[in-house]
A and B are shown apart, each in its own frame.
Chain A
Amino acid sequence: MDELRNTYIERIAKAADEAALEDVRLQALGKKGEISLKMRELGRMDPEERKTAGPALNALKDEINSAIAARKVALEDSALDERLKTEWLDVTLPARERRQGTIHPVSQVTEEVTAIFADMGFAVAEGPRIESDWYNFDALNIPGHHPARAEMDTFYMHREEGDARPPFVLRTHTSPVQIRSMEAQGAPIRIICPGGVYRADYDQTHTPMFHQVEGLAIDRDISMANLKWVLEEFFSAYFGTSVKTRFRASHFPFTEPSAEVDIQCSWQDGTVKVGEGDDWLEVLGSGMVHPHVLRSGGIDPDEWQGFAFGMGIDRIAMLKYGIPDLRAFFDSDLRWLRHYGFSALDVPTIRGGLSR
């Protein structure tokens, strides 16, 4: 029996390919194979003999089967190795192109601003881009003869002859949304109003369309000191570093007292760094909402008070991301969009951070 085993184990090991291996299998375990024949002889044995020969033969059969299977895997492996030796690709070839989309900085920064103010309880309000002059001016305490009207470089919509209504305007600021929101909601109210605005001005630093975000908070005891805190919180969150602000007295028809707000910065080689240094950069106008404006929005100024502010989204985008030219925002140069754009998955959040 040992001899038989050794013979076949050796033959199996020597089988050079699958066909030879199959031959060996047939010789050992085929219908007329040596081991199969021996199994058949078991029936003729007496029970005592069978007791030892039976298990031995079965064990032999299992062993040979395993050896064949193992040899088969080995043969397949070496065949695969042979094939792989001939298979080679130039992996330095470029991958299949995949378009990479981008989000415009105006959209991204609008979402950043929204995320920060949402955390402070400000909702997002919107209004039409074409406005009546009442919402854009009168309601905001800018009567027809007010010099601020002329200074705002307003775009007017065409009026048909015979239509005696005052002309509609392209909103010159997002402030009309304050009035619409106060009318709709009353007090208390906390909103920001981001969106496009228009002024007839086009040069190095002005485009006839740009973007603003307006903020409004009305309650019973909101003060300018609260405004300063809110803005410092905002700028610190937005720029990702502690930013001091400086309030300077100014005048806007819709706020009183009014202040221009500067943020702390430094200038190095013509580039500005926010949140450090001794210089100040003017970034927004603000103040306590004028009683006339509160009344325009249907809110009693003897009972309610609060602040409003407005700043340029494009401008704070330029500051944060080092974008030099405002005009390029609206040119849609693909090279610019790719360079300054943001990934679709870079959604600004408070928990994950506003930017990478």
Chain B
Amino acid sequence: MKFTLSWLKRHLDTTATLDEILYALTDLGLEVEGVTDPAARLGAFTLARVQSAEQHPDADRLRVCMVETDEGVKQIVCGAPNARAGITVVLAKPGDYVPGIDVTLSVGKIRGVESHGMMASERELELSDEHDGIIELPSGEVGQTFTDWLAQNAPEKVDPVIEIAITPNRQDALGVRGIARDLAARGLGTMKPVEEHKIAGSYPSPIAVSIDEDTRQDGCEIFAGRLIRGVKNGPSPKWLQDQLRAIGLRPISALVDVTNFFTFDRNRPLHVFDADKVQGNLRIHRATGGETLIGLDEKEYTFAQGQVVISDDTGIESIAGIMGGLATGCTGDTVNVFLEAAVWDRVQIAHTGRALKINSDARYRNERGIDPDYNMQAIEDATAMILELCGGEPSEVVVAGAVPDTARAYELKPARVQSLVGMDIPEAQQRATLEALGFRLEGNMAWVPSWRPDVTGEADLVEEVARVASLTKLEGKPMPRANVGVPAPVMTAAQKREQIARRTAAALGYNECVTYSFIDKASATLFGGGDDATMLANPISSEMSHMRPDLLPGLLQAAARNQARGIMDLALFEVGPAFSGGEPGEQAVAVSGVLIGRNGPKDVHGAARPVDLFDAKADAQAILSALGAPDKAQVMRNGPGWFHPGRHGVICLGPKKQLAVFGELHPRVLREMDVKGPAVAFTIWPAEIPEPKNKTASRGALTLHDLQAVERDFAFVVDTDVEALTLVNAAAGADKALIDSVRVFDEFIGGSLGEGKKSLAITVRLQPTEKTLKEAEIEAVSRKIVEKVVKATGGALRG
């Protein structure tokens, strides 16, 4: 909402400075978004008088002027054709900034002659495009500031323009008078009365108006109109044009400008039809669907069933309360005008406006709510203004529907105000504030003014009192903890897991990313998503069309972007939700990491090598372990299709309880996502990890054995598809009491072993608990280990 200071002062009698007004507006909740104060950039300039103007010795078109200023007579070189003795000019001195040429002046020499300033043209001061000569003022004294002169002689040129943000509850502040009312309530002046016109019609309106039965409910409350015949619709007067231009509106014609004036002055949209283009009577009704209308913006609109419109005998002529039709719009030739003032259903206006994508000043106001009680006075006031500007002869007013009864009252509870706001606002002040805002108090019942549809309860009264009292004055008051003593932990187990996973991954050398929750359909599809259930109805771009089914596609896209910048070795991770569907709750937190390229830059120690799946496995296991997952988990191979089919594993507790997956990413996925490999990854689902059974902090006793442990190595030749874990589990099962651990330390494939065979070497650690092992006992266990392994794997001890 934009308005000028002079417009505000039409309604507010105030001596407050611009700064005081701006501060109060923001503090009242009418946040100032911008202010243009022409005086600010003209403040330095003063008036001066040219005493003499002589031809420059070395330039035909320049004159050397002696100029009388407030600092004595100065020599100024000037190229303007009108520079001559006796004229009063606007002077810019050395040091002044001249906005139109973006220069800060200094004493200069022009063709060898010193010049101590500049006499400005209108364009140089950004007052207009006029640049044929320097400004010649018809009056004014030497030394007077230019802004003072303008304020007296051309106030519109120094009229500050203020732009404020309007929150949805402050429809009344969409009119300058409403803004003035707030400022007056704050104490920044008093409201000026407005004249309430009463114009008697001299003949019945030849155009009748009606509202269809099905449109009275939730459509149109009241529609009033009158014909004014014999108007002369030319340009509106200069003051009106200046005001409209100042707030960014284009003056069109007196009739249209009058409607715009009421829109911004009183938050009162009106419409004017060219009566000669209206066939028969006006009828407010609902569209049946499919009708079209060319609007005043010359665009064609197609109506849906139920949208409220205004028709004459030939069809739809106006989008009720939103935009008029082009065909019946007023032009310079209009001589008979039909003036409309109506109250529309706010919700209906909002829906229709949104559906037709029209953002007009009328829609903006009608959907937020105008003052219904002003409707019948508005038509009188607007008639008076039209008669004043255009002449003409008004008809009687025709009306369909009735002004809705919005009378309501809420109890003002002064103690409640204090308890909610925490400020000491005396009851008398609370009452005075409400009255200044137009509330009528009967005892403690506050009757809401008709222009405040937003006030719908006691809490709204509190808000009004508090904002006028100024929340800036609010003093903080300590809020004690709900419970005394040491604060209890506040994070849930799931929250702690996220934090632990995140910090463990970072400690393992991964860089945390936060990527968008939505990705493109192709990438989502590669990772098992991309279906319609996870699709956005209104994505911001096709790159962000589907909720991510997994964190990996986002990380791979991040990797591809980094590779495009020449960073080839990456360790990235993310902790966040992945979406299995489009319903609330169809999301689960995942922890994903990718390792790409080498494990580090190539180095003098030869330590750099391509990453492989065992790096991903190690990191996944480290994070799982930090999250409290049990050590003994199975590794299965039924992982998702975006991993290499033979080079991935699923870490699980039983076939249905998957904790994590790790492995090489499928080469096709890497190709599609433009990532240069090698690339390995893991994903962990923290919520799948069972809660620890032991809820106490106690670790249990540490059992240490004093007896010497014995290690024995075995090598087995087995088929290549035999998994090491099968072998290890078989060996460990040979004597659960004695065998402390089994560890694979070598794998050898092919060579002398022949096709399809491999050798796996294990170290078995035996830990006696009661007495030192004798060689015979070790032999016995060894035989049993070999027996178990051979049975489980079909292999043989390597000879």
Contact = CB atoms under 8 A, between A and B. Distances in A.
Interface in A185-224: 188, 190, 196, 198, 200-202, 208-209, 217, 219, 221-224
A94 interface: yes
B561 A331 contact: yes
A251 B471 CA distance: 13
Contacts of B157: none
B280 interface: no
A330 B515 contact: yes
Contact of A332 (B474, B504, B513, B586): B513
A196 B503 contact: no
B398 interface: no
Q: Which of B346, B513, B533 has the most CB of A within 10 A?
A: B513
A196 B517 contact: yes
A126 B517 CA distance: 17
A141 to B, nearest CB: 10
Interface stretch (B43-51, B414-422, B687-695): B414-422
A338 interface: yes
A224 B471 contact: yes
Contacts of A246: 472
Nearest to A155: B536
Nearest to B565: A333
A232 B474 CA distance: 12
Interface stretch (B140-148, B164-172, B245-253, B786-794): B164-172
A314 to B, nearest CB: 9
A299 interface: no
Contact of A249 (B471, B479, B584): B471
B622 to A, nearest CB: 12
Given A101-B511, A102-B511, A257-B420, A225 B475 contact: yes
A273 interface: no
B537 A157 contact: yes
The prevalent SS among residues of A at the interface is mixed
Contact of B420 (A93, A135, A223): A223
Contacts of B587: 128-130
Contacts of A93: 604
Contacts of A190: 482
Nearest to A250: B29
A341 interface: yes
B727 interface: no
Interface string B454-480: 000101101100110011101111110
Contact of B517 (A129, A135, A250, A288): A129
Contact of B505 (A101, A126, A156): A101
Contact of B607 (A96, A117, A332, A333): A96
Nearest to A194: B495
B467 A257 contact: yes
Contacts of A53: none
Interface residues of B, number: 103
Interface in B396-442: 419-423
Contacts of A146: 168
A229 B479 contact: yes
B579 A96 contact: no
Nearest to B607: A96
Contacts of B495: 124, 126
A100 interface: yes
B512 A341 contact: yes
B476 A170 contact: no
B770 interface: no
A355 interface: no
A170 B536 contact: yes
A84 interface: no
Interface stretch (A18-26, A62-70, A104-112): A104-112
Interface string A54-97: 00000000000000000000000000000000000000011011
A228 B603 contact: no
A337 B491 contact: no
A175 interface: no
A181 to B, nearest CB: 12
A150 interface: yes
Interface stretch (B192-200, B347-355, B378-386): B347-355
B463 A225 contact: no
A148 B467 contact: no
B562 interface: yes
Contacts of B154: none
Nearest to A189: B482
B40 interface: no
B575 interface: yes
Contacts of A290: 459
26 contacts: A97-B600, A99-B599, A99-B600, A101-B507, A104-B512, A117-B490, A120-B479, A121-B481, A124-B491, A129-B579, A130-B586, A145-B350, A145-B351, A147-B350, A155-B539, A156-B537, A157-B535, A159-B537, A209-B518, A225-B422, A330-B515, A334-B511, A334-B562, A334-B567, A335-B565, A337-B513
Interface of B: 26-29, 31, 167-170, 346-347, 350-351, 354, 367-368, 419-423, 457, 459-460, 462-463, 466-467, 470-472, 474-479, 481-483, 487, 489-492, 495, 499, 502-518, 532-541, 544, 547, 555, 558, 561-562, 565, 567, 570-572, 575-577, 579, 582-587, 599-601, 603-605, 607-608
